[in-house]
Structure formats: C-alpha cells, structure tokens
Amino acid sequence: MKKYAAECLGTFVLTLFGCGAAALAGEALGMLGVAFAFGLSIVAMAYVIGNISGCHINPAVSLGVWMSGKMTDKDFAWYVVAQCLGALLAAYVLAAIINSSDLGGIALTGLGANGYGEYSAIGLEVGAALLVEMILTCVFVLTVLGVTDSAKNATIAGLIIGLALTFVHILGIPLTGTSVNPARSFGPAFVLGGEAWSQLWVFIVGPFCGGGLAALIWKKLKAK
C-alpha cells in the first residue's frame, strides 16, 4: 500500500502545483513559468517517493513501464487508481482555494484543465490535439524509460525527467495546455464538468497511445 499511497501523494502535488500555477498565476508566470511548475513538481517528488514507487505519478508512464515488463498487472491497475485519486483531491483543493478568492471562480480560471478548439490558446482542432498529446507523451515516456533503465542514472533521473516534462510543456501549453498525463487531466475536468469533461477523452486516449508507442519503440531500441 505504501507504493499506491506514494503515487497518490505525488500526483496530488503535481496536479496542485502545476495546475495551480496555470490557474492562479498563468498570466504572471507565462508559459515558461507554468512549464517549470510542472517540471519542478516532478523533480521534487522523484526524490521524495522515487525509492518507494518509482514516482510514475502518471498513468501513461505506468502503461509504458507495464508494457516494458517492469510492472505487474495488479500494480499497474492500482497505480492508475491512486494517481487519479491524487489528481482529483488536488483539483478539489485547488477549487476551494480559487472559490475563496476574488478570481471569479473555477469556471473563469479553468483549474488548469486541458482543451482543444475554443479551449486551446491557438484553436487547435481535435485531431491535431490527439496527435500532439500522443507525440509529446511518447517523447516524455521514452525519456522516463531510457533514464531509468540503468541504476547508474539513479541520482540524476529525477532531474532529467523533470526537465523533459518542462520541455514538452513549453511546446504543448499553447496547443492543448499539455496533458501527457490522463490523471492530471481527469482531476480538473471532473471538478469543472461541462466542456472540460466532454473533451477529457482526448487527454486520456492521446497520452495512453503515446505511452504505449514509447514502450514499443523502447523495446525495439533495446532488442539485440
């Protein structure tokens, strides 16, 4: 249970600080600032829970690890449950903070939810949003699989993964808000409801396809 609790905690922190930065201070921080909020959350959690659960805090990462044969079916299922629970708790906490302020409520701030069409900064259409999420997630999960493949990288793995999450956000924020993580998208969409909830499937299907593709690519690269 410690592994699952760690995944819940890690995803809570990632969602609260990443989505919180986007919702509360996105205009002040800019895209780069929000990108670093997500990336630094990963760095911090990697060194807190990495030795307990591996610090996946992302169902797409767990899928890639599971498909690579480094995770049991049971652990994969419970990791996803724990990650979604952590993101949901974070979204409720963030909503409580916003509703206690004069920011205009969660509908106006958006809770850091992902979106396409009119909810994309550049009006990205649904097909392109799916492709973007698949590619960005594939690159991110490939980085995770690569850097964690050797024990020699243990001391720097968290930093590299955090920087990888930062750079995919730099490209992805103006496109879809950058999910690359179904749990991180689930929490805010569930609390917001409405259009955010109806668009959520893109940010589940895209990242899962990207995570699965990364696992297949990694297997081919590692094959002798």
pLDDT of residue 151: 85
At position 53, the amino acid (one-letter code) is S
Q: Give Cα separations from 28 to 32, 62, 70, 128 (angstroms).
A: 11, 33, 41, 28
In the structure encoding, which two tokens stand for residue 197, read together? 């909830």
Residue 213, pLDDT > 80, answer yes
Count other Cβ atoms within 10 Å, centred on residue 86.
Answer: 27
Least confident span in 2-11, 40-49, 111-120, 147-156: 147-156
Confidence of residue 25 (pLDDT cuts 50, 70, 90): confident
DSSP symbol at 195: H
- Label residue 66 exposed, middle or buried (CB < 10 Å: 0-12, 13-18, 19+): buried
Domain ranges of the chain: 2-222
DSSP symbol at 58: S
Question: Regarding the domain delimited by 2-222, which CATH topology (the fold level of the hierarchy) does it fall under?
Answer: Glycerol uptake facilitator protein (1.20.1080)
Question: From CA 84, how far away is CA 60, in angstroms rounded?
Answer: 12
Residue 6, pLDDT > 70, answer yes
pTM of the model: 0.95
pLDDT digits (tens, 9 = 90+) for 83-116: 999 999 999 999 999 999 988 899 989 999 999 9
